[in-house]
Amino acid sequence: MSEHDEAKGAELNDSAEGAVATESTDTTEKLRQEVAIRDVGPCRKHVKVTVNREDIDARINDHFRKLILQDQAMVPGFRPGKAPRTVVERRYRKEVLDQVRGEVLMASLEQISEDYDIAPLAPPDIDPTKIEIPDSGPMIYEFEVEVRPQFDLPNYKGIKLKRLSHTFSEEEIDREMRRQLEPFGKIVSKGEGATVEIGDFIVADMVARIGDRVVNAVKEVQIRVENRLMLRDGTAPRFGDQLRGAKAGDQRIVDIELSDTVAEEALRGRTVKATFDIKEVKVLQPPELTAELLESFGVGSAEGLREKVLVALNRRLKYQQEQYYRKQILEMINEAATWELPRDLLMRQARRAFNRRIMEMRNAGISDEEIRARQRALERDVLASTAMALKEHFVLQKIAEVEKIEVKDEDIDAEIERLAEANDTSPRRIRAQLEREDMLETLAVELIERKALDLILENAEYEDVPLVPTQEDAPASVAEVQTVEGELRDPTIPPEPTPSGESS
């Protein structure tokens, strides 16, 4: 219970007992205060509040009256409740002022939230201990707060959207079946003289260099060869092309673009050359489709597995369609307003933006390995990827507010049930995982945004266009290998603030 509620409860009790005189002030009345708000940068406002002195004195008087009438004032030399008012005030002045300061500050902030169009992204940077009630005159306090960007929504009903259209071929279904069966297969040698093809595995020594400097060397790492390779601190965008056709005993040089996770700041964003000394070429031997294996997928036949794979592919297509819709809607917004999101805001919001992206991909049934690959791609330029995610979030949240869209507990329960079914596990396990990863709030936000997007899509006009795979959609392998030695930096953690007096 808040101090404000406790004060209100005490007044009601006193009134019932006839202990408080009729001059007691109703502290539920709105404070008289002046509020001056000004912009101090993109998405940041400075607020100065001046609270009327009479309202503060009324609360101070109420606190002292209760101390005396409820026999709570313990003053040496006097029986409880018998000490003169002036003595009680001297004895309890600091305690009462601290309580009143907290009540007034809470009531004041609540009124600002109700009376002004401020949508904070984080709690204001207020230190209550540094706010004082002066001996005379109003209480004045100031703070800065990060707020959502202000922009006008264009007409989002009846808009024209392009819709990605695709019918999955038998070859695509076969390929996805092989991918889902891979965890049950066995990696074996491809044979002497065999050449590397996409989908094979290599065992190789890797030496990464910038000029003549060796930044890391790794022995006998096993890596799957796909179009792209996602390392812990970088991406090899042409990995498949640069490895294709190699044999055991060959050396291949691969270009690796370093991400913002690299420990050495001077290397972030640079491209290094990595030499792969290939020791062996391997291939994945698919498993036999036994009744036991099919049962683990919840089906009784190979045809049933194909049908389940097709459902997963169509779910993934829906995810791609939604991402494409969001991109088009965001482009419309950008035509109407210039967005400027400050760097410090992007860094502070990066973790939430990443969590929302991960939640969306999980809902689309994308595998954990592919999610890791896409996450590492986002980490290559954390500010750009966060800016895009935040813009989508702000637009859809504003539409949700305008349309009064809400998410109820039953919506979250239903989504957890759906996730559990999609992942062949129990709702209890999914909920536990979300709670462990602190993702329940993210799920609620994602559901609100999805409802807002659904509203737009229900009222849109469509033009079907063929799905053209992008680089992001291309298969990528993930390796727990670093290009550069050193402890990795989490790109979603903001840097330490620069000490006062030092240049940033």
Q: Is the pTM of this model over 0.75?
A: no
pLDDT digits (tens, 9 = 90+) for 97-134: 888 999 999 999 999 988 987 888 878 878 888 898 99
Q: Distance from first CA to last CA of the chain, Å, rounded?
A: 43
Model pLDDT, residue 307: 94
Pick from 27-31, 65-69, 301-305 the range whose average pLDDT is largest: 301-305
Provide the mean pLDDT of the chain: 83
Region 265-289: mean pLDDT is 94
Beta strand 139-146 pairing with 228-231: unpaired
Quick: pLDDT tens for 194-239.
999 999 999 999 999 998 999 999 999 999 999 999 999 999 999 9
Q: Is the per-residue pLDDT at 56 higher than 50?
A: yes
pLDDT at position 54 is: 94
| pLDDT band per the 50, 70, 90 thresholds, residue 71 | low
**Closest listed residue to residue 261, CA positions, set 431, 487, 8, 480:** 487
Q: Are 258 and 272 in contact (CB under 8 A)?
A: yes
Cβ contact 140:51 at 8 Å: yes
| pLDDT for the residue 18 | 33
Residue 340: pLDDT band by 50, 70, 90 thresholds? Answer: confident
pLDDT of residue 308: 92
Residue-level pLDDT at 216: 95
Q: Which two tokens stand for residue 204?
A: 């190789």
Distance in angstroms (rounded) separating the CA atoms of residues 124 and 166: 48
Residue with tokens 């809470």: 106
Give me the mean pLDDT over the 272-294 stretch: 95
Least confident of 90-104, 267-281, 437-451: 90-104
Q: Which amino acid is at 131?
A: I
Question: Which string of DSSP letters, residue by residue, matches 355-411?
Answer: HHHHHHHHHTT--HHHHHHHHHHHHTTHHHHHHHHHHHHHHHHHHHHHTT----HHH
Domains identified in the chain and CATH numbers? 3-146 (3.30.70.1050), 160-166+307-473 (1.10.3120), 170-285 (3.10.50.40)
Over residues 316-328, mean pLDDT? 89
Q: What percent of the chain has pLDDT over 90?
A: 43
From residue 413, alpha-carbon distances to 219, 365, 410, 416, 421 in Å are 47, 18, 5, 5, 12
